[in-house]
């Protein structure tokens, strides 16, 4: 049986919730399960947040940028090492991305680079409209520093927490609570899933209301269909939300299970040349994916050698995200950094990380890697 990189892990509550949704006849992008799902996520993350359930994390980011006031021609600064869906919405709007390298200590956006470039941009009257730092592989960005910079320079901070629900920043602050607005993803490969879905999380009720309005085709209040704004078909289905309600009950358990998977890899593969994604003191990564780098000069094998041998045994693994400034689509886009993100892309690999990965399967993966020494 194939071992997947990151697969859904049901709790047993989901089917009952879906049946309830069917019985209620809310087979639509509205309904009591969607309302309850938004409430549960808000309660989990805390701090009087407003949540809007949407069809994907990419849809959530698109609407987040719109409600934050990003317009055609604006610049948006973003982590270069991220999923494409964390950048494309910038282009949907007609804005322009500017990419930034990572901090080697966190594998998240390098705040020092952002700070230096903000000072330069302010002196040249070209400040960005928003910054999108990515919580990479389940690790929170440096929220305090980024929120302070955003406030000082009057810039919207849109935190991409698509990979980090269940993670914590300093002092137990939940991922998803950061910035002016944050986005989540419930894609099938995430820690919890609605099969496909996303969410906006913000303290700004007006922004949440605006996003909800735009997500349902921006229909004005009238008996007929009246439109004074361009809207989108982005609302999350009540059926999908019913799945999410069941998943929320086991979120902390799933995080604990994924952290345990990571810990087993880290202890078993403690050999020269293999380095795992760091976790700063006081942080609690969700360890959505177990990410590491392999220095071929020290190990005698590369990340691609590992991917190849695992694939022969029907075990799915993959390289780290290819930085967006290296993508053909963005070859002419400004980039700031020393290329740390490029270096870990060249050496990096994500190993199977499912929360229900069996001990036997994980030992098989470890033994195959160790056999390459």
Q: Residues 307-362: pLDDT tens digits?
A: 999 999 999 999 999 999 999 999 999 999 999 999 999 999 999 999 999 999 99
7 in any annotated domain: no
- The region of weakest confidence among 2-6, 9-13, 98-102, 120-124 is 9-13
Which CATH number covers residue 352? Answer: 3.90.1150.10
- Strand (E) or helix (H) holding 93: helix 88-93
Angle at 170 (CA atoms; ends 289, 324), nearest 5 degrees: 45
pLDDT at 172: 94
Q: Domain check: are 204 and 87 in the same one?
A: yes
3 in any annotated domain: no
Q: Domain check: are 222 and 320 in the same one?
A: no
State the pLDDT confidence band at 48, using cuts at 50, 70 and 90. Answer: confident
Out of 221, 248, 275, pick the residue that ends a domain: 248
- Strand (E) or helix (H) holding 348: strand 348-351
Q: Domain check: are 137 and 199 in the same one?
A: yes
Q: How far is CA 251 from CA 193, 294, 355, in A?
A: 10, 30, 11
For residue 77, what are the domain limits?
A: 14-101+109-248
State the pLDDT confidence band at 363, using cuts at 50, 70 and 90. Answer: very high
Which CATH number covers residue 47? Answer: 3.40.640.10
Q: Rounded to whole angstroms, how far apart are CA atoms 32 and 110?
A: 41
Share of the chain above pLDDT 90, in %: 98
235 in any annotated domain: yes
Q: Domain check: are 174 and 41 in the same one?
A: yes
How does the average pLDDT of the chain come out, rounded? 97
Structural domains of the chain, count: 2
Q: Domain check: are 138 and 158 in the same one?
A: yes
9 in any annotated domain: no
Q: Domain check: are 261 and 298 in the same one?
A: yes
Q: Rounded to whole angstroms, how far apart are CA atoms 198 and 192?
A: 11
Q: Under a CB-based contact definition with an 8 Å cutoff, are residues 182 and 202 in contact? A: yes
List of E strands, 161-246:
181-185, 198-202
Q: Domain check: are 178 and 305 in the same one?
A: no
Token output for 293: 């780098």
- The region of weakest confidence among 42-51, 201-210, 258-267 is 42-51
Out of 206, 223, 248, pick the residue that ends a domain: 248
Residue 47 scores a pLDDT above 90: no
Q: What is the pTM of this model?
A: 0.97
27 in any annotated domain: yes
* pLDDT digit string, tens, across residues 215-269: 999 999 999 999 999 999 999 999 999 999 999 999 999 999 999 999 999 999 9
6 in any annotated domain: no
Q: Under a CB-based contact definition with an 8 Å cutoff, are residues 66 and 145 in contact? A: no
pLDDT at 373: 82
**Location of structure tokens 């700031």:** 336
Would you call 318 exposed, middle or buried from its count of C-beta atoms within 10 A (0-12, 13-18, 19+)? middle
Q: Domain check: are 190 and 114 in the same one?
A: yes
Q: Rounded to whole angstroms, how far apart are CA atoms 152 and 48?
A: 24
């Amino acid at each position: 049986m194939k071992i997947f990189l990151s697969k859904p892990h049901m709790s047993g509550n989901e089917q009952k919730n879906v049946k309830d949704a069917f019985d209620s006849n809310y087979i639509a992008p509205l309904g009591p399960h969607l309302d309850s799902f938004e409430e549960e996520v808000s309660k989990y993350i805390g701090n009087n947040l407003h949540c809007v359930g949407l069809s994907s994390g990419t849809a959530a980011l698109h609407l987040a940028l719109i409600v934050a006031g990003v317009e055609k021609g604006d610049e948006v600064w973003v982590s270069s090492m991220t999923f494409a869906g964390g950048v494309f919405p910038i282009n949907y709007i007609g804005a322009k991305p500017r990419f930034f390298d990572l901090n080697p200590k966190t594998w998240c956006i390098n705040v020092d680079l952002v700070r230096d470039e903000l000072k330069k941009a302010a002196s040249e009257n070209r400040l960005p409209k928003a910054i999108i730092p990515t919580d990479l592989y389940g690790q929170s960005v440096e929220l305090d520093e980024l929120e302070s910079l955003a406030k000082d320079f009057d810039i919207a901070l849109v935190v991409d927490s698509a990979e980090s629900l269940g993670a914590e920043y300093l002092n137990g602050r939940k991922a998803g609570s950061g910035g002016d607005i944050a986005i989540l993803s419930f894609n099938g490969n995430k820690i919890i899933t609605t099969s496909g879905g996303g969410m906006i999380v913000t303290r700004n009720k007006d922004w949440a209301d605006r996003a909800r309005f735009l997500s349902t085709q921006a229909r004005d209040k009238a008996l007929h269909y009246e439109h004074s704004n361009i809207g989108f078909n982005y609302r999350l289905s009540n059926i999908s939300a019913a799945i999410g309600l069941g998943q929320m009950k086991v979120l902390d358990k799933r995080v604990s299970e994924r952290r345990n998977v990571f810990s087993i890899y880290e202890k078993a593969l403690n050999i020269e040349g293999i380095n795992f994604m760091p976790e700063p003191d006081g942080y609690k990564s969700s360890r959505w994916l177990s990410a590491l780098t392999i220095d071929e000069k020290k190990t005698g094998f590369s990340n691609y050698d590992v991917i190849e041998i695992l694939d022969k045994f029907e075990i799915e693994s993959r390289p780290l995200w290819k930085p967006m400034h290296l993508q053909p689509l963005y070859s002419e886009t400004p980039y700031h950094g020393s290329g740390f993100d490029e270096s870990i892309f060249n050496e990096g690999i994500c190993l199977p990380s499912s929360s229900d990965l069996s001990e036997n399967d994980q030992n098989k993966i470890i033994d195959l890697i160790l056999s390459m020494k």
